[in-house]
Amino acid sequence: MAAASSILLLLLLLVAAPLSSVASIGKVITYGAKAVRPIAKKATKAYMKNEVKERIQDLSGQTNNDGQLGSSAASSYGALVFELSLGSGTSAQNLSVVMDITSELVWAQCDRCSSSSCVRQTPADTPTFISQRSHSFNKISCNEKSCQDFIRGPGNICRSAGDRCEYTERFVGSGSTSGYLANETFTFGTTAFPDMLFGCGGDIRLPGLAVAGASGFAGFSRSPLSLVSQLDISQFSYLIDNSGDRSFLSWSIGQAADTALAKGSRITPLLVPKRKQNPYWYYVKLTGVKVNDQLLTDIPAGTFDVGADGSGGVFLSTTLPVTYLEQAAYNVLRRGVLHNCVC
């Protein structure tokens, strides 16, 4: 879906209804995260400029015989941010993290940049976790299993077994963060979870994605190192409301629980990733697109199917500021929106 041939569909077309999703992964103690809020990030244009450099086509602002569907109004977008307490007892430090359902790791801006090559694309006043102040912080070495599980790829370095486990995590769209892995205590409410795997972030390269007031990301993907896997979260739900009035994030831990649905609501099942797809993402089956409740029948059959090489398909994201569509679907949707536009 995010291949180089993809065309941008601006989120502006979708903001009339808040984004909502429920992901069920299997098992009851419900924890409702507090202080969840959408953060307005006035960076959509900068984000797309960077994406165009990466050969992602952006036709949203171009003009043709059908008229213009511009991107100028989409200047900001929201993300779910919640408080995470790192450390234990009197040494605990509270930081804000962004919920990201495509990320593998929980990480935060950590310690101070110790070299001139350190790059942090975050505001100067971003809260930083100081590991030396924590009584429960333990670095992970290269010979530990948790390190071996994560250091896939050439960007992650382990020269010898005694070295600290260094990592690089790359994000959907663009950007990356690097640092080293450690174990730390996470506290939610009054419940503490010791020995949680945590990324101590040094370099933070997230062009157009810096979130004012947030120190890092909380990975909610299917990865064995995500918060979902480490806490054995059986199901989680979230709502992104750009007004900030109804945004929430909640999850359940424990034995199998039924998802309570409001009367008349429906649930879209998650798909099992196919071979060559990312095994940690949440895929759904998109069967069609409607404009003003009219199905766009001109979208070619198979447009949203998964290819033999793993391309195509539809996955969910809580951090991308835009929605991507293949050009064949985008062209039809564009015509449908312009035909129904009262402007």
Domain positions in the chain are: 18-263
pLDDT(215) > 60:
yes
| Distance from C-alpha of 83 to C-alpha of 33, rounded to nearest angstrom | 8
User: What phi, psi does 257 have (nearest 5°)?
Assistant: -130, 145
| Distance from C-alpha of 329 to C-alpha of 122, rounded to nearest angstrom | 36
What dotted CATH number matches 18-263? 2.40.70.10
Higher pLDDT, 211 or 87: 87
pLDDT tens for each residue of 120-154 = 888 888 899 999 999 999 999 888 888 877 766 55
Look at 45-54, 114-123, 137-146 and tell me which has the smallest mean pLDDT: 45-54
Higher pLDDT, 160 or 306: 306
Q: What is the mean pLDDT of the chain?
A: 75
pLDDT(48) > 60:
yes
Tell me which residue of 330, 274, 312, 241 sits closest to 1, measured CA to CA: 312
Helix (H), strand (E) at residue 315:
strand 314-315
pLDDT at position 5 is 30
pLDDT(208) > 70:
no
pLDDT at position 199 is 94
pLDDT tens for each residue of 251-299 = 887 655 555 555 666 778 889 999 889 999 999 988 888 888 888 999 9
Mean pLDDT confidence for 328-339: 86
**Whether the predicted model's global pTM rises above the 0.75 cut:** yes
| Distance from C-alpha of 326 to C-alpha of 304, rounded to nearest angstrom | 8
pLDDT at position 219 is 94
pLDDT at position 65 is 52
pLDDT at position 320 is 78
